[in-house]
Homo-oligomer: A and B are copies of this chain.
C-alpha cells in the first residue's frame, strides 16, 4: 500500500487539505495527516482540524511515497518558515521514486528553497508574480516529473485524483472520481 504524508499548518486552506486526504484514502492510499503542531488548530477559514500525529512525533517521515503541501494563508508561510519542512522537501526532491504534491499558494514554499528552478508548475494565479523560479503554466494541474502542482480550492479534487493516478493507477483514480460524482 502506498503511503502519503499531508502536512497541516495552522491557517492551511481546509478544503485543499481535506479533499486531498479524503480522496487519497478513497483511492486506497495510507495517509498520515501530519500537523506542524500537536492538537486542534484553525485552518484559513477557521475550520477546526486536527492531525493524526504531530510532525515531531512522526516516525519515518522520510519513508512516504508522497509528500503534500496544501495552500492557504497563513498556512503557507508557516510551512515556508519551518526548517523541518525544508529538510523534508529537500529529501523528497532528491528521491527519484517519491512524489511531491503542492497546491495553491504553497508553491511559495518550494520557491523559497529554490526547488522550482527548471520546473514547469502552477499555483494560485495571483501568487504567480511572487515566484522567482520555474515556468508558471496556466493549467489546473501540472505534472513535471515527480512534482505535481495545482491552482486552488476549485482544482483540489482534480489535483487529488491526479495524485491517486500517480500512486495507484488511472483506473482507481477514475473509480474514485465516479464515486464522488466528480465532473472535472
Binds B, one of A12-20, A56-64, A79-87, A94-102: A12-20
- Check: A151 CB closer than 8 A to any chain B CB: yes
Q: Tell me the minimal C-beta distance from A33 to chain B in angstroms.
A: 7
Among the stretches A46-54, A108-116, A129-137, A166-174, the one at the interface with B is A46-54
- Are B48 and A49 in contact (CB-based, < 8 A)? yes
Q: How far does the Cβ of A158 sit from chain B's closest Cβ, in whole Å?
A: 10
Task: For the complex formed, measure the closest distance between the CB of A32 and the CB atoms of chain B, giving whole angstroms.
Answer: 11
Contacting residues, chain B, for A50 (C-beta < 8 A)? 40, 48-50
Interface residue tally on A, bucketed by range: 35 or more
Q: How far is B136's CA from A61's CA once the two chains are assembled, in angstroms?
A: 47
Q: Which residues of chain B have C-beta atoms less than 8 A from A128's C-beta?
A: none
B residues in contact with A152, CB < 8 Å? 180-181
Closest approach, in angstroms, between the C-beta of A45 and any C-beta of chain B?
Answer: 4
Bound complex: CA A151 to CA B179 (Å): 11
| Chain B residues with CB under 8 A of A125 | 181
Instruction: Provide the A6-44 mask, 1 if CB < 8 A to any CB of B, else 0.
Output: 000000011100110111011000000100000010001
Contact A22 B153 (CB under 8 A): yes
The CA of A46 and the CA of B29, in the complex, are separated in Å by 13
Asked whether A183 is an interface residue with its Cβ less than 8 Å from the other chain, the reply is yes
Taking a contact as CB atoms under 8 Å apart, the answer to whether B181 and A155 are in contact is yes
Which of B48, B151, B177, B183 is A181 in contact with, Cβ under 8 Å?
Answer: B151
The answer to whether A154 and B180 have CB atoms under 8 Å apart is yes
B157 and A177 contact, CB distance less than 8 A: no
Q: Is A140 an interface residue (CB 8 A)?
A: yes
> In the complex, how many angstroms separate the beta carbon of A157 from the nearest chain B beta carbon?
7
